[in-house]
Amino acid sequence: MPTVLLLAPWVPGALAFARSLRRVGIGVHLLNTSVPAPSSSLSCLRSWEAFPPALRGTPEGLAAITSTVGRLKPVALVALLDPDLLWLATTRQAFGPSCPVLAPSAESLTRLLSKAHQLGIATQAGLSILPTHLVVRAEDVDAIPTADFPLAVRPDRPGCVLPTFKVTLATSPEQLRSLIRERQRIDAPLVAQPFRSVPNLVVHGVRSADGQILASRCYLAARKFQGISLSIEPWPFPDGLEDKCHEFARLAGLTGCYHFEFLFSEREHLAHFLEVNVRMGGTTDKVRRTGFDEPLLMLQSYGIASNALELSEPSPRRVVNKRTVLKHIAWALRGRLTAFDYPNTSPLMHVAYSCRDLIVARDSVFDWRDVLTSLRFQLR
């Protein structure tokens, strides 16, 4: 049985990856970076070993992976998180030609970590972008029209701001100035765009190393929680959006799997570009349940899996991770939801929507063909 090494925490995306490969006779050896560890008897994994997070990006960590490569002779090496993916792409020569790292070039990945760089490519590809302001100093706020507030503010790239944050809301110029003054360090401009309380569109795609688009699908994230898609459902592409996503992939030199995030105005039927992630992500397990087998398509794009994979028609049912839905209910009852949790409604309605999804939506983790693993994973 051929084996693929997966460097990742034991999260739903890793579970979806292992299940997809097992279905076609490919084993997965997990280099587990999370705590708690998976059970030693999970049917979807060939095997696993602990990989302490402290080893990431270190010579000792690289030696540990090369040792595992030498022992198991895997056909490929895959990572789930951006820092790990960039690290492996940078050191890919250490694993030899028989164990390719399934990722774009390190140079491409480094450039795409910058949101400003992504916005530049999106403009070239013809994608719609909200008014964007790049700010470093408190004085830069003076040039922002008052009508653009409130603003969603994000760091340009990971690690460029201290204290760091993922996204925050600035409701006024003075609040944005305070945010800037509170930072000890800003190495790259903050990206500020008008805040829109609307659903997201998520576009998943897979592009081969020779530039062929193998598949792409569009999904509506009608509910959002903690900055991620709480629910997804298949959705038709707005006019021209699919072709523009393909053009972005070409301009950026994307290979393998990727997914775009857009803010979606249903009234205007217009999607505004937010960002692209060049990896599997938080919706990989959900789109797989609709019939979009992203892990196998990614292996196919690099010539690892058979090219005979055909996508099924997407299931129309909404998909959620019900464990996350339960967490959402708990946060709503404790009054911990924020303006970024969509839809913008009362905590009681949030709870009602989540109770509905617990009953009628499909769970991204539970699988009747793998009940024991499903239960162990949700109870981990």
Which residues are registered as beta bridge partners of 161? 186
- Over residues 31-87, the pLDDT tens digits come to 999 876 666 567 789 999 999 999 999 999 999 999 999 999 999 999 999 999 999
Query: Following DSSP, what letter does each residue of 242-291 receive, concatenated?
Result: HHHHHHHHHHHT--EEEEEEEEEETTTTEEEEEEEESS--TTHHHHHHTT
The contacts of residue 221 (CB under 8 Å, 6+ apart) are: 199, 200, 201, 202, 229, 230, 231, 232, 283
- Over residues 160-188, the pLDDT tens digits come to 999 999 999 999 999 999 999 999 999 99
Q: What is the pTM of this model?
A: 0.94
Residue 42 has what pLDDT? Answer: 72
How far is Cα 41 from Cα 30, in angstroms, rounded to an integer?
A: 13
Tokens 């699988």 correspond to: 367
Which among 378, 291, 377, 373 is positioned nearest to 44, based on CA atoms?
Answer: 373
- Using only C-alpha atoms, what is the Rg of the chain? 21
How far is Cα 249 from Cα 104, in angstroms, rounded to an integer?
A: 11
Please, how many CA atoms are within 13 Å of residue 150, restricted to the half-sphere of its CB? Answer: 12
- Over residues 254-303, the pLDDT tens digits come to 999 999 999 999 888 899 999 999 999 899 999 999 999 999 999 999 99
- Average of per-residue pLDDT values in the chain: 93
